[in-house]
């Protein structure tokens, strides 16, 4: 297929992850299909305004050559807007009926882009079709994952180019984000982005390290969790930062997507949450741990196990058994919760912080494999062109 028009639909619920992924995909597809018209349809734009400061509170706008349109607008003007050759339905969102009634006959391909998963079953469902019951429109499932037979992960060239730019201009970006940290080179500096969590063990164990640590606290839930700890413990308050023994905590203001990407590439480690931040952290090659959202019956732990199995499959030929055992235990203990709350967990952070260089070495191996074999953008492009 020679792609001339592409529409992407995204239904934002209560977080920045969905729009973060869709915004990134739209920019990259615009780059790989330079002669195609790309539109993004959103049920609301509040979260989009946060991650991109160009966004205005209007129902129709063009940003960097891509059209962004609200669901309300398309419901009123569906016939005028018409539909595209290819439609991407992000994360099973509900596309407005006014649009779909036209798309059944006018459009050719509907791609159901699912959430990222490391579970084995997705390989069997990847690129499987599903009948829509009417019209000529065909629906296909696209399953992102961490293997060659899955849909891969979002590895956009813009981000890879940015990583290389940061590497070559490290002093500039370090000054931009870490310029107010004294003796930065003698300290461990990292980001902390989480759901609700009790970090008492983290602070107690960091006190035993032979280096000072600076934690850049990201997001409302992270900062609220930390403040809960500070209520019970004596700290020093320096207005812009807090200090607990040899640990300094800086509460970061909200960063847009580009700023967050720059920051996580110049620090020493990243604690992340959600799909988009997780993938961004993986692609840095730096040490990371993923805080997954809790689900009933510990379903989230199955997802953690599935990711760890994919990670171990790639790095085990280079690593020692002790490393794999400790990393697996840390990821599992960090996430073993019935629900996101302030209950104290069983995780220990010492192995992670005492082996940052080793973890970065193995994480780089895993990252390079994903870049070479699991690029979602390339897989999506190839599928559309061959359709």
Q: If DSSP codes are grouped into helix, strand and coil, which group holds residue 234? A: coil
What integer pLDDT is reported at residue 14 of this predicted model? 66
Are 70 and 164 in the same domain?
Answer: no
Are 267 and 136 in the same domain?
Answer: no
- β-sheet with 187-193: strand ranges across: 236-237, 241-244, 247-251, 212-218, 187-193, 269-273, 288-291
Are 176 and 116 in the same domain?
Answer: no
| Segment 177-193 mean pLDDT | 94
| Segment 55-66 mean pLDDT | 97
| 16: DSSP letter | S
What integer pLDDT is reported at residue 351 of this predicted model? 98
The reply to whether 181 falls in a domain is yes
Give the rounded percent of residues in the chain with a pLDDT score beyond 70: 98
Of 143, 177, 194, which marks where a domain is finished? 143
The band of 227, judged by pLDDT with boundaries at 50, 70 and 90, is: confident
Q: Give the model confidence (pLDDT) of 5-36 as tens digits.
A: 999 999 988 677 789 899 999 999 999 999 99
| Segment 252-259 mean pLDDT | 91
Structural domains in the chain (count): 2
User: Which of these, 265, 289, 273, 285, lies nearest to 189 by C-alpha position?
Assistant: 265
Are 291 and 175 in the same domain?
Answer: yes
β pairing state of 66-70 and 60-63:
antiparallel
Are 299 and 174 in the same domain?
Answer: yes
Are 193 and 323 in the same domain?
Answer: yes
The reply to whether 387 falls in a domain is no
Structure tokens at 262: 């720059």
Are 276 and 310 in the same domain?
Answer: yes
The β-bridge partners of 288 are 270
What integer pLDDT is reported at residue 241 of this predicted model? 83
Q: Which domain holds residue 45?
A: 5-143
pLDDT at 215 over 80: yes
User: Which of these, 48, 337, 361, 12, lies nearest to 195 by C-alpha position?
Assistant: 337
Q: Give the model confidence (pLDDT) of 314-355 as tens digits.
A: 999 998 899 999 999 999 999 999 988 888 999 999 999 999
What integer pLDDT is reported at residue 233 of this predicted model? 77
Structure tokens at 193: 């982005």
What integer pLDDT is reported at residue 133 of this predicted model? 86
Of 76, 111, 143, which marks where a domain is finished? 143
DSSP secondary structure letters along 282-314 = HHHTS-EEEEPPP-GGGHHHHHHHHHHHHHHHH
Are 233 and 90 in the same domain?
Answer: no
The rounded mean pLDDT for the chain is 94
The β-bridge partners of 123 are none
What integer pLDDT is reported at residue 232 of this predicted model? 77
The reply to whether 383 falls in a domain is no
Half-sphere exposure of 171 (CA within 13 A, CB side): 0
Distances (CA, A) of 69 to 77, 81, 96, 110: 11, 10, 12, 18
Distances (CA, A) of 29 to 47, 133, 376, 378: 21, 29, 11, 9
| Segment 80-96 mean pLDDT | 96
CATH number for 70: 3.40.50
Lowest mean pLDDT among 103-107, 118-122, 292-296: 292-296
The reply to whether 379 falls in a domain is no
| Segment 220-248 mean pLDDT | 84
β pairing state of 236-237 and 212-218:
unpaired
Are 172 and 129 in the same domain?
Answer: no
The reply to whether 380 falls in a domain is no
Are 109 and 60 in the same domain?
Answer: yes
DSSP secondary structure letters along 264-281 = HTTSSEEEEESHHHHHHH
Instruction: Report yes or no on whether pTM surpasses 0.85.
Output: yes
Are 176 and 269 in the same domain?
Answer: yes
Of 143, 172, 203, which marks where a domain is finished? 143
Are 120 and 241 in the same domain?
Answer: no
Other CB atoms within a 10 A radius of the CB of residue 34 amount to 7
The reply to whether 152 falls in a domain is no
Q: Give the model confidence (pLDDT) of 289-306 as tens digits.
A: 999 999 999 999 999 999
The reply to whether 381 falls in a domain is no
The reply to whether 13 falls in a domain is yes
Q: Give the model confidence (pLDDT) of 260-278 as tens digits.
A: 999 999 999 999 998 889 9
Q: Give the model confidence (pLDDT) of 134-182 as tens digits.
A: 899 999 999 999 999 999 999 999 899 999 999 999 999 999 999 999 8
């Amino acid at each position: 297929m020679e792609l001339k028009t592409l529409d992407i639909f995204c239904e934002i619920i209560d977080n920045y992850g969905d729009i973060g992924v869709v915004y990134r995909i739209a920019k990259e597809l615009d780059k790989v299909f330079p002669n195609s018209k790309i539109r993004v349809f959103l049920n609301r734009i509040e979260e989009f305004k946060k991650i991109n400061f160009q966004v205005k509170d209007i129902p129709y706008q063009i940003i960097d050559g891509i059209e962004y349109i609200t669901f309300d607008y398309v419901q009123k003007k569906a016939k005028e807007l018409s539909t595209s050759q290819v439609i991407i339905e992000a994360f099973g969102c509900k596309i407005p009926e006014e649009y779909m009634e036209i798309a059944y006959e006018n459009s050719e391909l509907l791609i159901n882009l699912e959430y990222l998963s490391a579970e084995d079953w997705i390989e069997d469902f990847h690129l499987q079709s599903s009948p829509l019951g009417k019209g000529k429109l065909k629906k296909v499932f696209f399953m992102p994952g961490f293997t060659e037979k899955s849909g891969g992960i979002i590895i956009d060239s813009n981000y890879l180019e940015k990583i290389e730019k940061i590497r070559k201009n490290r002093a500039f970006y370090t000054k931009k984000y870490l310029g107010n940290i004294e003796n930065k080179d003698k300290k461990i500096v990292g980001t902390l982005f989480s759901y609700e969590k009790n970090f008492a063990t983290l602070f107690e164990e960091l006190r035993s390290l032979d280096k000072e640590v600076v934690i850049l606290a990201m997001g409302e839930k992270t900062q609220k969790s930390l403040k809960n700890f500070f209520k019970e413990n004596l700290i020093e308050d320096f207005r812009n930062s807090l200090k607990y023994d040899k640990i300094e905590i800086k509460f970061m203001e909200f960063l847009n997507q580009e700023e967050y990407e720059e920051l996580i590439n110049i620090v020493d480690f990243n604690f992340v949450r959600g799909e988009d931040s997780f993938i961004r952290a993986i692609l840095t090659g730096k040490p990371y741990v993923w805080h997954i959202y809790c689900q009933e019956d510990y379903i989230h732990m199955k997802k953690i196990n599935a990711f760890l199995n994919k990670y171990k499959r790639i790095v085990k030929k280079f690593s020692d058994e002790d490393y794999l055992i400790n990393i697996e235990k840390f990821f599992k203990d960090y996430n073993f919760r019935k629900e996101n709350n302030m209950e104290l967990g069983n995780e220990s952070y010492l192995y992670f912080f005492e082996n940052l260089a080793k973890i970065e070495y193995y994480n780089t191996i895993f990252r390079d494999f994903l870049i070479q074999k699991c690029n979602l953008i390339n897989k999506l492009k190839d599928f559309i062109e061959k359709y």
